[in-house]
Amino acid sequence: MRLRLAGVFATWTISLLAASGAIIGAPRPTYHAPGLTHVFASIPGPLPALRLDFGLDPLALPFLALLAMLGFAVGVWCLRRDRPIDAVLIAGFMAAMLAVLVARSAAAFFLAWEAMSLVSVFLVAAHHERRDVRRAALVYLVVAQSGALCILLALSVLVAYNSGDGSFAAMAYANYAAPMLRAPALPPATRTAVFLLALVGFGSKAGLLPLHFWLPRAHPVAPPSASALLSGAMLKVALYGLCLVIFQLAAPGAAWWGVVLITIGTLSAIGGVLYALVEHDLKRLLAYHSVENVGIITIGIGVAVLAESNRYEQLAGLALIAALYHAINHGLFKGLLFLGAGVVAESAGTVDLEKLGGLWRPLRWTAPLFLVGCVAIVGLPPLNGFVSEWLTFQTLINGFRVVQPDERLVLLGAVMGLALTGGLAATCFVKVFGIVFLGQSRRVPERPVARENFDAGTAALGILAALCALFGLAPMLAFDPLDRVVATLGPGFEWPSYFHSLPVLPVTLIALPFAGAIACVVLATRRGVRRVPTWTCGSPVTPAAQYTATAFSKPLRTIFAFVLLPDRRRVVEAGNAWFPKHIVYTTRSRDVIDETSRRFGALALWTARRSRALQSGSLRLYLAYAVVALVVVVMLARR
């Protein structure tokens, strides 16, 4: 108990620190150039490149705010749930993420980054007695360290071109002042190399396609509190790193960076939601949705780069607001959903959608709060997901006018991809909520689920759900501070208020549907609703008559079979073909990336096996090779 309390208080202290950082660092109009941050702690190293600087940069503030809110809620959760040691690890993880966000020199950033990766590996490997968990942790570690290598290379290049000084402020200022001094801070080829390295390094950590494969393996096996922080906060820290490189360290970005980011973002959004649709493990499904949402955020960042390179700073500012807003929102609702999945796993004993159902009644606190998370992640009004997705759409649509004609087609593709993603996400969460919480339990034999009481865990869900509602119903609460943050990126970045409707839009949209729901409740109590058995054509009503998750996603699995590569097995047991006793139907979708890497691996092995014939171990054969080689060399030399 003492260990748990220590962990929780440490977590709260760190979120308090993050919150005060976000408040103290609130941008003032005195900022003249991006990245010129006040450094509050500087630890000298043996070389200027190894100096450790810490400061509060405006770009990090939205992420600090997210870390504070999510960390506080996860701390509340840890009061009653998960192991005590998890609470301590969570505190360490929070501290590492905080350090990444306040790092203002290359060495400090990289050290904090590595600490964050390592602590999170411990969290992923929490249940290390299971083989799949060990494997997931190993895959995660390999990806994290390969990504870190790319980041290290990118940072080293930047430090080298900054005459050996590791300070981020100096690099950002050099880039900012370069047009005035007529001396480019970085040669274009180097800039490109830094961008690509950062994209691979941070993109793999953020879970962008095609380097997302570790994410659905690692996130679900961690305890709920860790999953919430991994998906809700760590992916955002990775995106912060990407923003830092693009908008400060290697600024200004070229137009094609934007095109690359928008394309990858759109593909990640669609791919993430498609794999989520066919997934029946609740936590893996949520992990795939992180890929989708990171994709949406990346689209925003991409439009910002594209608009900036077209000298349209206003739109770039708006795009970045949309991306940062969605980053905060995704942290909140994904945290809520992962913690909710934790409650489901604990009370029902499984997260397999095919065995769940009817949890609305026993989980009387979690179920409505989980519904809030579902509505938010789908982007339905009036919750926070709606506002940031709406902003992303507006960004893309306004982009049609200000970018080059051929780049407009990329934006058009992103608009259509995003709309498709929205529809598919709605389908997916109808499946999740409808199968898990509504209807009846699908488990045979049915296992009673104890009635839930209000405790620290549900309180944590409540906090996050309240924040989701707050940032949806009062969008200016986030929009105005974010506008001030992006205004520090340069002159003209603030978004003039073209959106007169934004402050009231969510409330206006929801007013009549809400009134309709109230009217239904009133009518149902006054006139009464008689309860009758469900219509099943006269056959007995059993839980087995309900639609299942596999059946629900069947049409989309068939339509998108070319991506999802479904693998069906139908085993009919006993009896003759007309009256089978028992039919087992399994379907599994293969991840295209996994499948590709498997094929590559198989090809490499096959080549190796074939080429083994050359190395039979016979000395005479080797002598023959030597003679042939000699003859070939002599013939070539005579030419």
Partner 1 sequence: MIFVLQVLIIVALAPLVQGAMKSLRARLQGRPGPSPLQPYRDLAKLWQKEALLPEGVSSIAVCAPGIALGVSLTFAAMLPIFNALPALDDVVALVFLLALGRFFLALAALDSRSAFAGMAASREMTFASLVEPTLLTALLGAAALLPPVVPFLGSQPLGVAHLSELWLLTDPRFFGLAGMLGFGAFFLVLLAETARIPIDNQETHYELTMIHEGLALEYSGWQLAFLQIASYVRQFSFLILSVRLLPLYGSWVESPLTYWLTGGLTILSCCAAIAVLIVLVETAFAKLRLFEVPQLLGTALILAATSVAMRLLGAAL
What residues contact residue 397 under an 8 Å CB cut-off, 6+ apart? 415
Q: Which is nearer to partner 1, 157 or 430 (CB)?
A: 430
Q: Which of 92, 252, 340, 422 binds partner 1 (CB under 8 A)?
A: 422
Q: Does 575 contact partner 1 by CB under 8 A?
A: no
Please identify which residue in 83, 134, 554, 590 interacts with partner 1, judged by CB under 8 A: 554
Residue of 42, 192, 350, 440 interacting with partner 1 (CB under 8 A): 440
Among 24, 47, 444, 523, binds partner 1 (CB under 8 A): 523
**Contact with partner 1 (CB under 8 A) among 19, 196, 255, 412:** 412
Q: Which is nearer to partner 1, 72 or 393 (CB)?
A: 393
The yes or no reply on residue 518 touching partner 1 (CB under 8 A) is yes
- Shortest CB 419 distance to partner 1, Å: 4
In 3D, which of 358, 378, 349 has the Cα closest to residue 441? 358
Of 547 and 600, the one with the shorter C-beta distance to partner 1 is: 547
Site for partner 1 in 217-256 (CB under 8 A): none
- For 73, the token pair is 């809620």
Name the minimum Å distance from CB 499 to partner 1.
6
Closer to partner 1 by Cβ: residue 501 or 616: 501
Residue 622 makes contact with partner 1 by CB under 8 A: no
Q: How far is CA 107 from CA 43, 99, 151, 231, 585, in A?
A: 11, 12, 11, 25, 54
Out of 3, 41, 160, 511, point to the residue binding partner 1 (CB under 8 A). Answer: 511
Contact 290, 272 (CB under 8 A): yes
Our finding on whether 215 is near partner 1 (CB under 8 A) is no
To partner 1, the closest distance from the beta carbon of 401 in angstroms equals 6
Q: Report the site for partner 1 in 465-504 (rule: CB under 8 A).
A: 498-501, 504
- Amino acid identity, residue 472? G
Among 505, 563, 565, 593, binds partner 1 (CB under 8 A): 505
Q: Tell me the closest approach of the beta carbon of residue 488 to partner 1, in angstroms.
A: 21
Q: Residue from 227, 266, 398, 589 that binds partner 1 (CB under 8 A)? A: 398
How crowded is the C-beta side of 390, counted as CA atoms within 13 Å? Answer: 20
Q: Is 295 in the site for partner 1 (CB under 8 A)?
A: no
Nearest distance in Å: CB 479, partner 1: 14
Closer Cβ to partner 1, 86 or 313, answer by number: 313
Q: Could you say which of 184, 347, 400, 484 contacts partner 1 (CB under 8 A)?
A: 400
Whole-number minimum distance, CB 360 to partner 1, in Å?
5
CB of 545 to partner 1, least distance (A): 5
Which residue has 């997934």 as its token pair? Answer: 279
From the CB of 229, what's the least distance to partner 1, in Å? 28
CA distances from residue 470 to 372, 474, 475, 501, 510 in whole angstroms, order as listed = 12, 6, 8, 17, 14
Torsion sign (Cα): 76, 81, 87, 91? negative
Q: Does 626 bind partner 1 (CB under 8 A)?
A: no
Phi, psi of 42 (to 5 degrees): -135, 120
**Is residue 533 packed enough to be buried (19+ CB in 10 Å), middle (13-18) or exposed (0-12)?**
exposed
Q: Per CB under 8 A, does 408 bind partner 1? A: yes
Helix (H, G, I), strand (E, B) or coil at 588: strand
Which residue in the block uniquely carries the two structure tokens 């190796």? Answer: 608
Q: Considering only residues 349-368, where is the footprint of partner 1 by CB under 8 A?
A: 358, 360-361
Q: Is 380 within 8 Å of 509 (Cβ atoms)?
A: no
SS3 category, 585 = strand
Name the CA dihedral angle for 468, 9, 57, 323, rounded to a multiple of 10 degrees: -20
Pairwise CA distance, residues 291 & 435, whole Å: 22
- H helices present in 379-504, as ranges: 384-402, 405-436, 456-473, 476-487
| 516 near partner 1 (CB under 8 A) | yes
What are the DSSP calls for 124-139, one per residue? HGGGTTSHHHHHHHHH
Using CB under 8 A as the binding rule, whether residue 546 contacts partner 1 is answered as yes
Question: What are residue 587's DSSP bridge partners?
Answer: 568
State the minimum distance, in angstroms, from the CB of residue 333 to partner 1: 15
Bridge pairing between strands 52-55 and 566-573: unpaired
Helices assigned H by DSSP within 25-167:
61-78, 84-102, 106-124, 131-161
Return the number of the residue (314 or 587) whose C-beta is nearest partner 1: 314
Task: Select from 521, 604, 632, 633 the one that contacts partner 1 (CB under 8 A).
Answer: 521
Stretch of 31-39, 106-114, 116-124, 518-526 lying at the interface with partner 1 (CB under 8 A): 518-526
Distance (Å, rounded) from C-alpha 270 to C-alpha 209?
10
* Window 310 to 349, contacts with partner 1 (CB under 8 A): 314-315
- CA-to-CA distance for 215 and 140, rounded, in angstroms? 8
Rounded-to-integer distance, Cα 562 and Cα 547, Å: 25
553 binds partner 1 (CB under 8 A): yes
**Paired tokens of 54:** 């810490």
Q: Which of 251, 380, 460, 487 binds partner 1 (CB under 8 A)?
A: 380
Per CB under 8 A, 40 contacts partner 1: no
When asked if residue 515 is in the footprint of partner 1 (CB under 8 A), the reply is yes
Closer residue to partner 1, CB minimum distance, 188 or 528: 528
CA distances from 417 to 81, 299, 420, 517 (A): 39, 11, 5, 32
Assess 444 for contact with partner 1 (CB under 8 A). no
Among 121, 138, 420, 474, binds partner 1 (CB under 8 A): 420
Q: Which of 2, 182, 531, 620 lies at the binding interface for partner 1 (CB under 8 A)?
A: 531
The secondary structure of 482-523, three-state, reads HHHHHHCCCCCCCCCCCCCCCCCHHHHHHHHHHHHHHHHHHH
285 forms part of the interface with partner 1 (CB under 8 A)? no
Give φ, ψ of 105 to 5 degrees.
Answer: -145, 160
Cα(295)–Cα(267) distance, integer angstroms: 7
**Amino acid identity at 123:** L
Of the candidates 452, 286, 420, the one whose C-alpha atom is nearest the C-alpha of residue 353 is 286
301 near partner 1, rule: CB under 8 A: no
Minimum distance from CB of 201 to partner 1 (Å)? Answer: 32
Which of 44, 513, 580, 601 contacts partner 1 by CB under 8 A?
A: 513
Using the rule CB under 8 A, give the single segment among 49-57, 88-96, 458-466, 513-521 that binds partner 1. Answer: 513-521
Single residue of 50, 255, 438, 459 touching partner 1 by CB under 8 A: 438
Closer of 201 and 475 to partner 1 (Cβ): 475
Q: Which of 13, 347, 394, 587 binds partner 1 (CB under 8 A)?
A: 394
Stretch that binds partner 1, among 122-130, 213-221, 545-553, 584-592 (CB under 8 A): 545-553
